[in-house]
Each structure stands twice: as C-alpha cells, then as structure tokens.
Structure 1
Amino acid sequence: MNAPIPSIDFLKHADAEATLAEVAAGLRAGTVIPYLGPGLTELSQSAVPMNPEALAAFFGIKVALPRRAKGNAWAAAQHIESNKHRSTVTALMAEAFASPVEPTALHRYLASLRLPMIVDAWYDGAMRSALRERSDWGEVQGITRAGIGEDRWYRFYDAAGAETDRAAASGWTTLLYKPHGSIAPARNFLISDADYVEVLTEIDIQTPIPDVVKDRRTERSFVFIGCRFNDQLLRTYARQVTKRSSTLHYAIVEPETLTKNELRFLFGQGLTPIAIPLARAVEILTAAG
C-alpha cells in the first residue's frame, strides 16, 4: 500500500519573496550553500540537454534504445556502454555538452560572493566559466571508477583546470563540487547505471563524498535552485550531500509540476518549499543586499 501524500504548506507570494530575501542574505554571509540543478541551465537557453529526460532523448537519437532504456538517461547510457563501449558513452556525453553554456546572472553573482562551497549537479561548465576571473577557487568532481584501475571516487582541479590533490583544496576560498562530473575541464561523467552501483552502495556511509565537502557543509544550510527530485538517484544525492549539515534547507519549486515522490521527499527532508518562478527567484537572489 502506497504511503499517503503528505500535506505541505508552500511559501507563496509575499511570504516566498521574503523568505528568499533571507536566503539571499545567508548566501552573502556564507551560511547558505547553493545546490544548482539543470533547471538553472535552462535559463541560459543553451543548446545542451537541459535535464535528464532531454539527455535520454539525445542518446535515443544517436543509438537505438530498448524500451526499458528510453526516457531514462542512466539506463540509456548503460545500454550504450554494455553494447558498444565506455568510450562511446564518453564521446556522446562530450558531444551533448560541447556547446559552451553562457553563465546566467545567478552563476555570475554566486561567483562574486566567494562562497565556501557551490554544489552543481549538472554536467555543463557554466559555473566554472563564471568563476574563471578568480584564482582562489578549485573544483572536485565525481568520477567513474570503470576501467581506471584506481581506488578513487573523485578528482580535484584548480582554477586553471589542472589536476591537483586534496591538500590544495583546503586553501581554496570557494569549492565547486560537481558530484556527477562535468564536461570541463576533463570530461568526467558519472552517467551509466554501472557508474552509480558502487557509489550508491557506499554513499550512505559517505565514502564517495569528499572530506572537504563534509567540512564545508557543517552547520550550513542549502538552497536547491533549479533542482528536481523526481528520480531516486537525484533524491539520494541531495540527501547524502546535505547530510550532517544544518537542519534548515530550502527548495525553489513549482508546486504544480511536483510528483508524489517529490512531495514525499520535500516533507521527509524537512525542506522549506519556496513556490516562486525560477526567473523571479534569480532576481531576488541577485538583488543588492
């Protein structure tokens, strides 16, 4: 028997805008961490896939997919990897995200704040581009362990895109965390079902989460911007990345689009849902404090 759908009070209108102004103040103070999803990429009107469904459709154009893999980016990538080669998956991902994504006003604003951490859960390089005028930051990305012959879950890159190590990360003013990898600077992609098998096996004990991420999330809140939670994988990452941080978190949402599982997730995680169009939310977040 399915669990009943919880009743959630969405912050709307004046309440939503007032709360978002408080979140903006938290961003400026460094007490709130932005968690960016592909919805923010959509505001740039780029040619890259804007969400997992669009990425699955891209795979479907390039390769004939079985019914079970259609519409699911992770299953589609697994089918391609199993029937062709991992290098084919990487090449298709590189093709899908080849067009540079112009940073939005929010990307540029966040880059100006010198935040302790920015989480970016999509594969484009817009946030890295927004940060490129600075040199006091670096990036950690989730990597596939398939075929690398290494016992590593992630790699570190400095502002110039050169690979570095965890010791360097402790000195960065801002850490950009790309848990699923990115097109830039080195085409690291967690995308196939196989990529996530080991990660999801151990993520509950936090092994795949870098220590520097664990340190910087401590006692801080998160605000989810342009994120959906309509897939178990997305919900798992959101839950585990924010683990052992503050108990007060926010999500900018469009209530009419939310699935039953998303509503349960918002309720179960105690997220404060702010019902406001994303474009308007960006205006509020980037307004001078």
Structure 2
Amino acid sequence: MAAIDMLEQAMNEVSAGKRIAYLGPEVSALSGGGAPTSPAALCAIIEAQVRAPRRASGNLWSVAQYVESRKFRDTLDTLVRDAFAPAAACANPVHDWLARVRPPMVVDTWYDDGLLRAFERVRDWGLVQGVSRNGEWIDIFTRAYDSAGTEVGEASPDWKTLLYKPHGLARPDASFLISDSDYVEVLTEIDIQRPIPEEVQRRRTGRPLLFLGCRFDDQMLRTFARQIGKRSAEGHVAVMPGPLTRMEARFLDELGITWLDLPVAALSEMLTVPEG
C-alpha cells in the first residue's frame, strides 16, 4: 500500500475513534505566524534574550534551566509566553479537522493553544495539561479544565473529546514544563504512569497512535511518547519526512511504528480537498 493511502486509512481510524492522533510542533506550523515551531526555534528565541553557557546552548531544556536558575522562573515564563504570543496567520487544517470529527482523545505535545482555539467552536470536551511544580506546594503533575476553561478535579469520562497536552500550555493563564527541573520528577515517576491521568490511560487502551509532525531526536521526547503509548494497541504509524536519525530509527523499530516518509503538508493537502 502506498504511503499516502496508509495515511488516509490511519486518518479514517482517528475519525472513527479507533486511533489516537499524537501531534508534534510541525502540525502547529501549519497555522503560520511568528510562533516557534520546533524546540530548536524556541531555544534560539530564548538564547537571543539570555546568553546561555556553551554546554547548554542549543538544548531547550538546559537553556531553560539556566534561565530559571540565573534569572528566576518568572523571567523564563515571560520569555516562553512572549514567544507564543503572535497570532496564527491562517486556519490550521489538522486542528480544524480534529474539532470536526471529535475523536475520544488528542495528544498535543507542543506549547501553543491552536488546538484549543479550534475546539472553542464545539462543545463537550475538556483539557488535561501538564504543569510545572515550580512554586507548587502540592503533589501535582496535571490540571484539568472543562470546555469553558473552569478548573475541575479531574478529567471526566463523559467528555466526548479529551485534549491532552502533557508538556503544558504557554499562555498567561496556564503552566508548562520546559526546564530540566520541571521534568526531573515527571521522568522519575512516568515509568509507573503516575504523571499520566487515569482518564488518559483509559482512553488510550486498545487504540494505536498516529504520530503527526513529531521528531524523536531527543531522549526526553522519546520517553514521553513511549510512556504515553504504553498499554495502547499495536500498530502505531508516524508521519515524518526523512532522513531519520539513528536514534529515531531505533525508536520506531523498538515500538513497532510504521514510518510514512511524508511531510505534514501531505496531510494538510488531503484535508483541504473540497468535500464531495
């Protein structure tokens, strides 16, 4: 089967609630605008404001840790939120499509709010996002919100769609994981699944993942994908253009992921074809 046909089949399974879309920053890039669309781009924006030591330079998590340690967390939060302040230049076909088909769950691993804005036009959904423990005095990994933006105790099994942003959300009323210290407790506990909400675990069961616009050239990103996909179904598919790094190829092989050597733009073109 041709790669584009396999992609169409996987998308149909997402639409039918049989597969979970797992979005990376390249999906957010389809919105255009001036917000960063990769860890490297976000890192460059931060380093343009705060000069990081050579040992950290180019690594988003390490640069963020340097800023947090030397300039305080408020400075880091402001830099990241300002980076994501520019408005989208156009509608995002993937976000809009997901809001139309309303699958049981979407995992969105980038910091922008594009997916939430697409879902604002529909009802009966909720958000679970990862939160930084910086400044927190309670044992917390995530917060949950209903579609009106009201914080609730936990994700509801009655929500038609659960939007899961494991790394958080970079806007003024939200929190996000970005520094090494943000991730240290999460990564310590993630193997036993404690940072992953029970409703997320329930909805992933029996459903393979469709990775869209992700790269797995960083150990932390691979760890999150591996643990979020734990106990889901076999048959994952990843859409990303080659060449793959050695570690990406090893990761896809380890999880039995079918690799479709296609750009995310191929998905965009598929979704913007007039209906009928």
TM-score of Structure 1 vs Structure 2, range by shorter chain: over 0.9
The residue identity in structure 2 corresponding to 1:38 is P
Residue in structure 2 matched with residue 28 of structure 1 by the alignment? 15
CA deviation profile, 1:39-93 (whole Å, cap 9, x unmatched): 1122222211110001110111110110112111110110011111111111111
Task: Report sequence identity in percent.
Answer: 47
The residue identity in structure 2 corresponding to 1:135 is R
1:112 aligns with 2:103: no
Residue in structure 2 matched with residue 18 of structure 1 by the alignment? 5
After superposing the two structures, state which structure 1 stretch, 94-103 or 206-215, moved more: 94-103
Contact 2:24 2:211 in 1 (8 A): yes
Please list, as runs of the form range in 1=range in 2, the aligned pairs for 1:149-188 lying within 5 A after superposition.
Answer: 149-166=137-154, 169-184=156-171, 186-188=173-175
Q: Matches of 2:259 and 2:272 in 1, distance apart?
A: 19
Residue in structure 1 matched with residue 28 of structure 2 by the alignment? 41
CA deviation profile, 1:158-179 (whole Å, cap 9, x unmatched): 112221121x522210000000
Aligned residues: 274
1:216 aligns with 2:207: no
Contact 1:136 1:159 in 2 (8 A): yes
Deviation at 1:253, TM superposition (A): 1.6
Detail structure 1 runs of 4+ shifted over 4 Å in the superposition: 285-289
After superposing the two structures, state which structure 1 stretch, 238-247 or 103-112, moved more: 103-112
Where relative contact order (Cα < 8 A, 6+ residues apart) is larger, the structure is: 1
After superposing the two structures, state which structure 1 stretch, 150-159 or 177-186, moved more: 177-186
Q: Matches of 1:161 and 1:80 in 2, distance apart?
A: 30
CA deviation profile, 1:171-216 (whole Å, cap 9, x unmatched): 2100000000012472211000000000000100000001010000
Other structure's SS at 1:188 match: coil
Structure 2, unaligned runs of 5 or more: none
Residue in structure 1 matched with residue 253 of structure 2 by the alignment? 267
The residue identity in structure 2 corresponding to 1:20 is L
Other structure's SS at 1:156 match: strand
Other structure's SS at 1:202 match: helix
The residue identity in structure 1 corresponding to 2:265 is A
Q: Matches of 2:87 and 2:127 in 1, distance apart?
A: 18
The residue identity in structure 2 corresponding to 1:50 is T
Other structure's SS at 2:31 match: coil
* Structure 1 counterpart of 2:135, from 142, 147, 150: 147
Contact 2:81 2:171 in 1 (8 A): no
Residue in structure 2 matched with residue 11 of structure 1 by the alignment? none
Q: Matches of 1:245 and 1:236 in 2, distance apart?
A: 15
Structure 1, unaligned runs of 5 or more: 1-13
Contact 2:56 2:62 in 1 (8 A): yes
Contact 2:81 2:172 in 1 (8 A): no
Residue in structure 2 matched with residue 280 of structure 1 by the alignment? 266
Other structure's SS at 1:20 match: helix
Q: Matches of 2:232 and 2:270 in 1, distance apart?
A: 25
Contact 1:100 1:125 in 2 (8 A): no
Q: Matches of 1:230 and 1:154 in 2, distance apart?
A: 25
Contact 1:190 1:196 in 2 (8 A): yes
Change (3 A) 1:185 1:66: closer
Alignment RMSD: 1.5
Contact 2:84 2:171 in 1 (8 A): no
Other structure's SS at 1:88 match: helix
Change (3 A) 1:286 1:175: farther
The residue identity in structure 1 corresponding to 2:181 is A
Deviation at 1:281, TM superposition (A): 2.3
Change (3 A) 1:138 1:184: farther
Q: Matches of 2:23 and 2:13 in 1, distance apart?
A: 16
TM-score, normalized by length of structure 1?
Answer: 0.91
Contact 1:109 1:286 in 2 (8 A): no
Q: Matches of 2:137 and 2:87 in 1, distance apart?
A: 31
Change (3 A) 1:269 1:212: same
Residue in structure 2 matched with residue 6 of structure 1 by the alignment? none
Residue in structure 1 matched with residue 191 of structure 2 by the alignment? 204
Q: Matches of 1:115 and 1:53 in 2, distance apart?
A: 30
Q: Matches of 1:278 and 1:91 in 2, distance apart?
A: 30
